[in-house]
Amino acid sequence: MTELVVRAADTQSGATRAWARFDLSGSAGEFTVWLVPALIIVSWQAACSLGLVADSVMPSPAAVLAAGRHLTVSGELPRNVGISFLRAIAGLAVGGGIGFTLGLANGWSKISDRITDSTLQMIRNVPHLALIPLVILWFGIDEGAKLFLVALGVFFPIYINTLHGVRTIDTQLIEMAESYGMDSRALFRHVVLPGALPSIFVGLRYALGIMWLTLIVAETIAAQSGVGYMAMQAREFMQTDVVVLSILIYALLGKLADTTARALERASLSWHPAFQKK
């Protein structure tokens, strides 16, 4: 458990430092961020145009773009992206909601912790993707299977980081709040929840990564729609451009989710010294 928390916390502090530099360098900083991706695309296109790579191995960015345009016009791409997006959000809401609730409960109440925590820790050590055969037996290849896997995948990072956040709240603040006459509801709203929030956000961002990973695997193995299914179909017909397009769409969706989480984090943690404008 600690390992996961520490690793997640590391990524966060690294990201925070990056943000600080971002703010300092302004629009120039914004540009630097996109410099490397742009360079990669340019050299990729150059390699394809010069015939250094075969089209069937790696189609050029222009070809991928053309495939994207074609699939957008036919409506296939928006439909599949929409379905994948909904699956991801639904799984996150279910798994994250349960993880958040249990994390709060177990961080706050010793009884709840004794009853559920050791069981959860046992389940955590099973890689959730190992359950795929069982999940297919249970749910077939309909939506239930994907929802279950994504929910299970995002549950643990959110659970563990919420638990960690509640447990590490400064006990001096709780003592102060109690001695100043806060009842348990006010204590939860004004002390426990805001105190645990930085850690909860670490869990959320970690969960977003797992969410996409799980969905990609589930959609390539057992699905009849979605970006992963689109990629697998394209493989059957040797449409490398569509396969690459699918991978790029996953990258973009992942980036979008992370950017949203970061914006939320910055908005709700504006009190935190790490997020204050210099």
Partner 1 sequence: MTVQVPVSAWSVFDPESRASRVTGTSVTVRGLAKSFGETRVLHGLDLRAAAGQFLAVVGRSGCGKSTLLRLLAGIDQPDTGRISFGDYPAAQARELARLMFQEPRLLPWASVLANVEVGLGPERGAAGARERALAALYSVGLADRAGDWPSVLSGGQKQRVALARALVSRPCLLALDEPLGALDALTRIEMQQLLEAVWQKERFTAILVTHDVVEAVMLADRILLLEHGAVARDISVDLPRPRQRGSAAAGRLEERILRHLLRADRREAQ
Query: Among the candidate windows 13-21, 50-58, 174-182, 212-220, which touches partner 1 by CB under 8 A?
Result: 174-182
**Which of 18, 38, 176, 252 lies at the binding interface for partner 1 (CB under 8 A)?**
176
Query: Among the candidate windows 136-144, 149-157, 183-191, 233-241, which touches partner 1 by CB under 8 A?
Result: 183-191
* 128 touches 72 (CB < 8 A): no
| DSSP symbol at 275 | G
Task: Determine if 173 is a binding residue for partner 1 (CB under 8 A).
Answer: yes
Query: Among the candidate windows 20-28, 68-76, 168-176, 252-260, which touches partner 1 by CB under 8 A?
Result: 168-176
Query: Among the candidate windows 89-97, 138-146, 241-249, 263-271, which touches partner 1 by CB under 8 A?
Result: 263-271
**Which of 56, 175, 259, 260 lies at the binding interface for partner 1 (CB under 8 A)?**
175
Task: Determine if 182 is a binding residue for partner 1 (CB under 8 A).
Answer: yes
Which residues fall within 8 angstroms of residue 217, CB to CB, at 6 or more apart? 129, 132, 149, 228
Q: How many residues lie near partner 1 (CB under 8 A)?
A: 23
φ/ψ (deg, to 5) at 58: -145, 105
Q: Please identify, using beta-carbon distances, which residue of 183 and 236 lies nearer to partner 1.
A: 183
Long-range CB contacts (< 8 A, 24+ apart) of 229-238? 229/80, 230/71, 230/76, 230/77, 230/80, 238/56
Query: Among the candidate windows 27-35, 136-144, 184-192, 226-234, which touches partner 1 by CB under 8 A?
Result: 184-192
Task: Determine if 277 is a binding residue for partner 1 (CB under 8 A).
Answer: no
The 10 Å CB-count burial string (b at 16+, else e) for 130-158 is ebbeebeeebebeeebbbbbbbbbbbbbb
Displacement of CA 115 from its chain's centroid (Å): 29
CA distances (Å), 178 to each of 72, 185, 250, in order? 58, 11, 47
* Residue numbers 193-252 binding partner 1 by CB under 8 A: 194-195, 197
Task: Determine if 185 is a binding residue for partner 1 (CB under 8 A).
Answer: no
**Which of 179, 185, 237, 267 lies at the binding interface for partner 1 (CB under 8 A)?**
179
% helix, strand, coil for the chain, step of 5: 85, 0, 15
> Which residues make up the interface to partner 1 (CB under 8 A)?
172-173, 175-183, 186, 190-191, 194-195, 197, 269-273, 276
